[in-house]
Amino acid sequence: MSTTKANEIDGRGMQHCETTALGVLLRHEGLDLSEPMLFGLGSGLSFLYWDSKGMDFPFLGGRVKPFELTRNLAARLGLTLRVEETSSPRRAWQNVATHLDAGRPVGLQLDSYHLDYFTSKVHFGGHVVAMYGYDDQHAHLVDTEQQGGAVTTTLAGLAAARAERGPMTARHRSFTVTVPEGLAVSRDLLVAAIRGCAEAFLAPPIANLGCRGIAKAAGQVPRWLLRTDDPGHHLPQAAMLMERAGTGGALFRNLYRDFLGECAQVIDDDNLRTGHALYAEAASLWTDVAALVAKAGESADASHLGQAGDVLHELSRVETDAMRALSACGS
């Protein structure tokens, strides 16, 4: 039996999975924010360079770890975030069905590998969707625009996706949000989000993260042909992940640029304008990096990776300058 009616759900798919799910849940509560605003208020921007012996190829990440954006957003806006986790598949289903039967959509963290509508069969345990209904055989979900927006998957596939264990997975995590009455996104909230993100970016706990991580990547990327026995696969895939794997393009820098642009419409601040201009530059440079990495994979020509390293050195400078300006926003 179907639960929350499809016509009661605004099933717009956005670019990134976590902001897409949050958008569905918040619009159902009466709060409609743009995707850049959701991403920025959740201090979602980051950088990660990760490599280990157990990995086929290094990973470049452009956001905070899965679900941190949701927790940040809830804390900043004063949302009531109810998170449920369990090792029991039966209990996990009850946690979801109870809310759906009451007419409330639910966010789920799961492994996208098991979702029927996913054409790319790669394990990713940090994927997030909104679920708004079910029948005897299928679950009704909202995923990113790229994955089709309002989609369906089998209940068996959903159960497998929620039960998967491995990197970035959670124990059948489901969540709901409640918006307090009279909530308004104030100037102070925007400034706090901007400064919080900047401060974390400028002072990462390890060298693989934030501005230090981009500098590390600048030194490592030129050697990527030595890191793979299948450059024609791994390098174009790395480029695709930067541009099209739910990042909104340019490794999430397009989203953050647009967030800063929205903020600049309501906050008159020179540091904000500086940061916005620099992130517009950074977004363009990240797209250049992705193109160079793809060319290197297609040609096996290391000179393209050398150029990518040069651009990454410039990106380290640009993003550091941007975050230094943004850390002083509103002061």
The structural domains of the chain, with segments of one domain joined by +, span 6-32+80-178, 187-326
Residue 131 tokens read as 């679920």
Q: Using alpha carbons, select from 250, 203, 321, 258 the residue that is nearest to residue 35.
A: 258
195-211: b (≥16 Cβ within 10 Å) or e: bbbbebbbebeeebbbb
* Residue percentage of the chain with pLDDT more than 70: 98
Residue 328 tokens read as 């002083």
CATH number of this structure's domain 6-32+80-178, picked from the four choices 3.90.70, 3.30.1370, 3.40.720, 3.40.50: 3.90.70
pLDDT tens digits, one per residue of 42-98: 999 999 999 988 889 999 999 999 999 999 999 999 999 999 999 999 999 999 999
Residue 98 tokens read as 């109870």
pLDDT tens digits, one per residue of 3-14: 555 447 888 889
Would you say the C-alpha torsion 207, 209, 211, 215 has a positive or negative sign? positive
- DSSP label of 221: G
Residue 181 has pLDDT above 90, yes or no: yes
pLDDT at 5: 52
* Residue percentage of the chain with pLDDT more than 90: 91
